Structure 1
Amino acid sequence: MRRLLVLLWRVSRSDLRILWLALRSPARPGWLLPATLMLGVYALSPFNFAIPPLGLVDDFVLVPLVLHWLVGRLPPRFHAAP
């Protein structure tokens, strides 16, 4: 389990960094803040605890995929290194 968490952290780290910098930018797209909030609510939803196997798939597969998809929709200026 620990190896899986380390793998997920390594994969999602750059997406989280880009998302954090984009959220702090005054030139962020208008859809970014509501989409990020919805992803956070979805990741913490109580339905994850109702059916444990689906909760694991949800947390370890869907949330990182949606996070990567959100970052991919950002304008190219947010992907450049600071």
Structure 2
Amino acid sequence: MWKLGRLWTLFRKELLLAWAVLRDPRAPRAAKLATLAAVLYVVSPIDLVSDFIPVLGWLDDGIIAYLLLQVAFKFLPPELMAALRSKVESRARPVAR
């Protein structure tokens, strides 16, 4: 069960990083377009594999969105990627009380 929690944490960080790419004015247009394409593919009713097929339909959405996000992250300059990752890490880290 801890693997599922770890997977959720990684997924959440990737989503926060994608949101940061869309909001940062220093991000190249190609990175923003690839991120937007990932979001549009997930919400689009047009899929490679229909969502009516229980697991495969959702799995293809996740895999294609993940691959598009990785393409978007490749377009980012290394220093911007590092800055955005550190920003996301600080935001995603739970506050100790």
Match of 1:79 in 2: 82
The aligned runs of 1:1-82 (5 Å cut-off) are 6-47=5-46, 48-77=50-79, 78-80=81-83, 81-82=86-87
Structure 2: which 5+ residue stretches go unaligned? 88-97
> How many Å apart are 1:45 and its aligned residue?
2.1
TM-score using structure 1 length: 0.65
The structural deviation recorded for 1:35 is 1.6
Task: State the 1:8 CA deviation.
Answer: 4.0
Give 5+ residue unaligned stretches, structure 1: none
- Number of residue equivalences: 81
Partner AA of 1:23 in structure 2:
L
Q: Which has the larger radius of gyration?
A: 2
How many percent of aligned residue pairs carry the same amino acid? 35
Cα distance change, pair 62–4 in 1 and its aligned pair in 2 (3 A): farther
2:29 is paired with a residue whose SS is coil
Asked if 1 retains the 8 angstrom alpha-carbon contact of 2:42 and 2:65, the reply is: yes
Q: Check conservation: 1:8, 1:60, Cα contact below 8 A.
A: no
